[in-house]
Homo-oligomer: A and B are copies of this chain.
Amino acid sequence: MKVRLLTYTPHPIKAVFTAARTCYSPSTPTEIWSADAPKERMHSLIDKVIGAGHQSVLEHISLTFSIEGISRSCSHQLVRHRIASFSQQSQRHVKVKEGEWVLPPSIETNHSAWEIFQSTLKGIQGSYMRLIEMGVHPEDARYLLPNATWTHLVMTMNLRELYTVCEIRLCTRAQWEIRGVFEAIKEELTKVEDLKGFATYLQPICFHLGYCPEPKSCGLLPVKGSPTIS
């Protein structure tokens, strides 16, 4: 898996600050934008607004990622997030190459499982190629292809939706591969000076709630209303 931030809204802190101030200020957005408030003051207002649950101002920040070499199981889950834009490599139009598949860690570390996995995938790839040689169109031959098959996609998501999606996908209960995608996304934001403050907002939901909403906790935080030792 490879995740890269390709491009994003420039001046993200000023954009969020301008949006937040516009709601409560007699000044116009261009006045607020041009006033160039000090970064600390902008961050302090944004923290207050987000802390009170008003995440809508984060929608003004758009982030475009390249997500490469994930499985089709993972991409099927990923595209369920509806407030986002996806351009994904098509299995109808692009032929799949041997060896381009995702290996689950639980299989990688289990030698006999690994042997079954690899030989089955090689068998599938052989049958897939034979069908195509026989004249079957790739869009039909692909019905044989496994979930493990690599796919690549460009994903654009605004920062508010990313905040919400990370609440679910950074949970330790999330499926390991999609959790890895959002950990890599958070890591990408951390590398950018203007985005690293926002990266700290990307947390599993229990961090935001102060408790685990599921019936059983992973141990990170107690479930809602559980007795606490103090």
Q: Which residues of A contact B (CB under 8 A)?
A: 2, 4, 6-11, 15, 18-20, 22-26, 28-30, 33, 48, 51-53, 56-57, 59-60, 62, 64, 66-69, 71-73, 75-76, 79-80, 82-83, 85-95, 97, 101-104, 106-107, 110, 112-113, 116-117, 119-121, 123-124, 127, 130-131, 134-137, 139-140, 142-148, 152-154, 156, 158, 160, 175, 205, 209-211, 213-215, 224-225
Contact = CB atoms under 8 A, between A and B. Distances in A.
A91 B71 CA distance: 14
Majority secondary structure of chain A interface residues (helix, strand, loop or mixed) = mixed
Given A80-B79, A113-B136, A205-B53, A156 B25 contact: no
B146 A117 contact: no
Contacts of A26: 94-95, 97
B210 A29 contact: no
B107 A143 contact: yes
Given A24-B93, A146-B144, A116 B87 contact: no
Given A92-B175, A146-B124, A146-B145, A62 B29 contact: no
A9 B11 contact: no
7 contacts: A6-B18, A18-B66, A20-B87, A29-B152, A53-B214, A142-B147, A144-B148
Contacts of A2: 28, 30
A214 to B, nearest CB: 5
Contact of A68 (B30, B124, B142): B30
A48 B140 CA distance: 26
Contacts of A130: 116
A135 to B, nearest CB: 8
A10 B88 CA distance: 21
Contact of A11 (B7, B73, B88): B7
A53 B66 CA distance: 24
Interface centre among A20, A57, A113, A135 (most CB of B within 10 A): A113
A22 B64 CA distance: 14
A117 B73 CA distance: 21
A23 B88 contact: yes
